[in-house]
Structure 1
Amino acid sequence: MKRRISAVLTILASVALATSAGATLIENNTNLSAEWTRMPARVAATDSVDTILYNPAGTIRLGEGTWIMAGNQIFPKEYSHTKDGVTHKTTTLTTVVPDFFVLKNGTRWSGFTGFGVIGGGGSLEYDNGIIASSAKALGKSTGELLTGTALPEEVMSVWMGVYAGGAYAVSDTFSLSLTGRMVYGVNTYEIDGGDLLDYEKSGTGFAPIIGLNYTPTPSLNIGFRHEFRTKVEWEVDTIDGAAAPALTPALGEKGATSRKDFPAMTALGVSWKATQDLTLATDVSYAWHDDINWEGGEEGLDNGVELAFAGEYAIKPTFKVSAGYSYANAGVDTEDYSTALSKNAYHGLSTGFMVEPMRDLRVNVGLTKLFYEKDTDSHGITYEKDLWIIGTSVQYKFQ
């Protein structure tokens, strides 16, 4: 039992760096909408309600009116780690990653509210267990590895963001925005079906988001936003199971608090209308891990980055097709990977379409495939990931 307790501690220490089941970076999602899944460069977008998420200062350029948007993403996936010819994998399907927003525009102002999944989303279940591997995460310097220790585990993680804000057009070409976002996070761990450990914690925090949009010419648009770091205090909601008494000093008793922030992010994008029918766009998104407080878990992290390029072609005004490429590096060294969820760099390919079946009604369908780089750490554990993102959304403008 003592060895199993040590394995549980090692597993939980390792997943501290990677508890977001679907995040494109360590914690921050960039796949915030169905529009992203078909055209991943969205930071300079001004054509959809999802600009609330990517380019809030650009919401004004949609014109006067009131819109609603509802969307969802599905994650078919296979994550695995292999050592000595034995593979531990999860294929848990995530089917509900929702978002919903309302936007109201006047002549020179906009106001908006809504919610979406800003980090993680979904769960991972390893039926044949995971290898307890991260001695470094426990602060050990010996490189000790609990070889052969594999415990069935289920991990669930999600960060929800609730938004309220608005934008103002300073001039015909320049607008500013201010958004308040409340963050709510939940992490759960079940080991041996909860018999050995059933653990859940949740946390909340609040931080502002600022943005600007500049349109120097009718064919060129520049978008910028900065999401400030969100200070999040977590509280243990549940700690049960046979191992709970022994683990309580390390994990905290029910009601105990700890700190794990949601990182700041800066994003810059450019959109160019190359012809009447063709739009090209590019983005860079940068997640700041320098100033987060994870009670030591952030040590050794680099900042994360995602680059994206995309194009959209209007076959006709009511039907547009799009495609794009993205690359992301979360900023985690291979030696710090969690066997429950590694953070391999990836190359992504996206495609999809937008159709307006009737006036003021718009439907987006997108598909993104993330091609993760295969990594092997110094213990001989090989990490592989395979992920699809399927996005759909419906947007309606009220007359």
Structure 2
Amino acid sequence: MREIMKILKKLLLLSCIGHVSYSASVDYLMNQSPAYLGNPAQNAIISVDGSNYNPAGIVHLEDGRYLQIGNQFGFIHEGMKSEGKDYDSDTFEPVIPNINFVNKNGSTATYFSIGVIGGGATLEYDDGVPGSGKIPGILNQQGAKLIPKLGFNPFENVYMKDSSFEGSNKYFGATLGRAWALNEKWALSAAGRVVYATRELKGYAKYDGVTEPVEGMIVQKKDFTIDSEREAWGVGGIFGVNYMPNDRWNFAARYETKVKLKFEADATDDPAKILNKEIGFLDFYPQYADGDKRYRDLPAMLALGASHKLTDRLVIMAGGNYYFVKDADLDGQNGYDNGYELNVGMEYLINEKWSWTLGYNYADTGANEETYSDVEYALDSHIIGTGIKYRPNPNQEWLLSVAQISYDTATASGEEKDFNGTEASFPSVKYEKSFLAFGISCTMKF
């Protein structure tokens, strides 16, 4: 009986919700404005979007005040498959906003930006997740051990009657910074950032088909529920440098410090009772337990970029990001390597009012089979995006962008373990994601 409790503990630990991330870091997002969807190679950009990607470069804007308002939205699919059963979440995310303000005056520029910098969309798994789906099979295997005592297997016909889970992880950032032009070629920037993060999880799993013995009452309650929200505040720094040797080339670098985030959970748990012991999600997934406090940091990152004006109409860009994931505390989890991204892109000036952008990004998350679970699976990805810019007058610019984020599939191998002489099977799980994203923004100069 004690071994059945151990198996249920492992299974319930996995019965949580994954989250969408379009970046090489576990939680960090780089699509902090719609321009990224149209061309991910933004690290050496000279524009108001540089508030997010190349803050030192904003000193090369014309003098004036700039306001940019943007939003991203799209269709998200996440799926897990185990033992021939699909566990899917298909969601439309309507709001991923951002606001940038820049005040450029002479050799200095002040900027303020606010938006979603990490996490992802709200996901709903209407048919449960593999962790909850595995429980009947494991109980059936282990119930056979009770036949000598009870004369039958009380879990032989157990099944998951109903299950549903919903989760979301969102990190909001507000950044205030300043950039200085040292001379015509060199510029520096420094900023502080405040981060507010939430990680929410709620759901249930209901089981039936358990044969109740006359004595011993193996199962008194067969439902598990959870409703938990974790919150954290943190601060970090952002430092940048821009080098423009001539009117054709531009180079930029940006370093963002690690943001320490100590999450505190506010939760309610309604556990099941099996083998005269209570079993609840929060008992076995302690970071979501009520009052739990622990760190899950945003890792430090280094971004490099370059752009070259190939012709008077065509600018090409390239860059990359490196995420120091191994130095961040991720709820005490181990197994992640550092992640990185590589990207290329272009912008073509069609005429004075219209231009076209195109770009590609590859992300290696540093995750592996050891890190995959129902709660998160950071898969490597490929982004292909394009966009159109429209300038009706010199003081206004509209942007429309679209990107397809395709993720590599990955599989966590199944396990066979011996529990008190009984072989228990933990089947393999296949993971997949995709995201069709759209963006729109308006930039105005005053």
TM-score, normalised by the number of residues in structure 1: 0.89
Going from structure 1 to structure 2, the CA distance change for 1:51 and 1:254 (only over 3 Å counts) comes to same
Partner residue in 2 for 1:357: 392
The share of aligned pairs that are identical, in percent, is: 29
User: Pick from 154, 159, 163: which aligns with 2:175?
Assistant: 163
Whether 1:10 and 2:58 are equivalent positions in the alignment is no
Counterparts of 2:365 and 2:129, CA distance in 1: 22
SS of 1:129's equivalent in the other structure is: coil
Residue 32 of structure 2 corresponds to which residue in structure 1?
32
Q: Find the counterpart in structure 2 of residue 180 from structure 1.
A: 192
- 3-state SS in 1 of match to 2:350: strand
Residues 1:153 and 2:201 are matched in the alignment: no
C-alpha separation in 2, matches of 1:252 and 1:121: 18
Relative distance call for 1:237 and 1:85 in structure 2 (3 A) is same
Per-residue deviation, 1:187: 0.4
Matching residue of 1:280: 316
For residue 376 of structure 1, report the CA deviation from its aligned partner: 1.9
Which residue of structure 2 aligns with residue 306 of structure 1?
A: 341
Residue aligned with 2:367, SS: coil
Q: Deviations over 1:75-118 (max 9, x none)?
A: 31211111222111100111110001111011100001120111
RMSD: 2.5
Q: Distance in 2 between matches of 1:114 and 1:210?
A: 15
- Is 1:320–2:355 an aligned residue pair? yes
Q: Structure 1 residues 291, 217: closer, same or farther in 2, change over 3 A?
A: same
Contact preservation (8 Å) 2:21, 2:28: no
Extract structure 1 runs of 4+ deviating beyond 4 A: 1-6, 148-151, 242-249
List gaps (5 residues or longer) in structure 1: 136-147
Question: Could you say which residue in structure 2 is the equivalent of 1:234?
Answer: 263
CA contact (8 A) 1:200 1:239 kept: no
1:288 Cα deviation after fit: 0.7
Going from structure 1 to structure 2, the CA distance change for 1:85 and 1:214 (only over 3 Å counts) comes to same
**1:218-246 residue CA offsets vs partner (Å, 9 max, x unmatched):** 10000110000011111113334446995
Q: 1:156 to 1:295 in 2, by over 3 A?
A: closer
Structure 2 unaligned residues grouped into runs of 5+: 135-158, 206-222, 273-277, 415-427
Which residue of structure 2 aligns with residue 142 of structure 1? none
Residue number in structure 2 paired with 1:145: none
Work out whether residues 23 and 119 of structure 1, in 8 Å CA contact, stay in contact via their aligned partners in 2. Answer: no
Offset at residue 327 of structure 1 (A) = 0.4
Structure 1 residues 295 and 77, CA, compared in 2 at 3 Å: closer, same or farther? closer
Following the alignment from structure 1 to structure 2, what is the Cα–Cα distance between the partners of residues 91 and 288?
31
Q: 1:246 to 1:372 in 2, by over 3 A?
A: closer
Among 332, 345, 348, the alignment partner of 2:380 is 345
> Counterpart amino acid of 2:193?
R
Which protein is bigger by CA-based radius of gyration? 2
Q: What corresponds to 2:51 in structure 1?
A: 52
Q: Which residue is equivalent to 1:197?
A: 226
- How far did residue 256 of structure 1 move? 3.3
- Secondary structure of the 2:128 match is strand
Q: In the TM superposition, what is the alpha-carbon distance from 1:195 to its structure 2 partner?
A: 7.2
The residue identity in structure 2 corresponding to 1:45 is I
Secondary structure, counterpart of 1:44 in structure 2: coil
Residue 212 of structure 1 aligns with which residue?
Answer: 241
Quick check: 1:79–1:341 contact (8 Å CA) kept in 2? Answer: no
The match for 2:438 among 377, 390, 394 is 390
1-structure distance, mates of 2:42, 2:410? 29
Partner of 2:20: 21
Structure 1 residue 265 corresponds to structure 2 residue 340: no
Does the 8 Å contact 2:336/2:371 carry over to 1? Answer: no
CA separation in 2, counterparts of 1:376 and 1:295?
23
Q: Distance in 2 between matches of 1:333 and 1:242?
A: 31
Amino acid at match of 1:88: Y
Partner of 1:256: 292
Task: Deviation per CA, 1:225-271: give whole Å up to 9, x if none.
Answer: 00000111111133344469955553465443211111111100001
- Does the Cα contact within 8 Å between 2:98 and 2:115 map onto a contact in 1? yes
Render the CA deviation track for 1:44-96: whole Å, top value 9, x for unaligned.
000x2110110000011112110000111113121111122211110011111
358-367 vs 103-112, which deviates more? 358-367
* Conservation of the 8 A alpha-carbon contact between 2:78 and 2:432: yes
CA offsets, 1:266-289, max 9 Å, x none?
100001010000000001111111
- Call closer, same or farther: CA 1:254–1:371 in 2, change over 3 Å: closer
* Partner of residue 91, structure 1: 90
Contact 2:14 2:373 in 1 (8 A): no
The DSSP-based 3-state class of the residue aligned with 1:202 is: strand
CA contact (8 A) 2:269 2:280 kept: no
Structure 1 counterpart of 2:401, which letter? G
Q: Which amino acid aligns with 1:291?
A: D
For 2:250 and 2:96, the matched residues in 1 are separated by 29
For the 8 Å contact 1:227–1:265, the answer to whether it is kept is: yes
> What's the offset of the Cα at 1:357?
2.1
Q: With the length of structure 2 as denominator, give the TM-score of the two structures.
A: 0.80
Q: Is the 8 A contact 2:387 2:402 kept in 1?
A: yes
Q: Which amino acid aligns with 2:97?
A: P
Contact 1:103 1:111 in 2 (8 A): yes
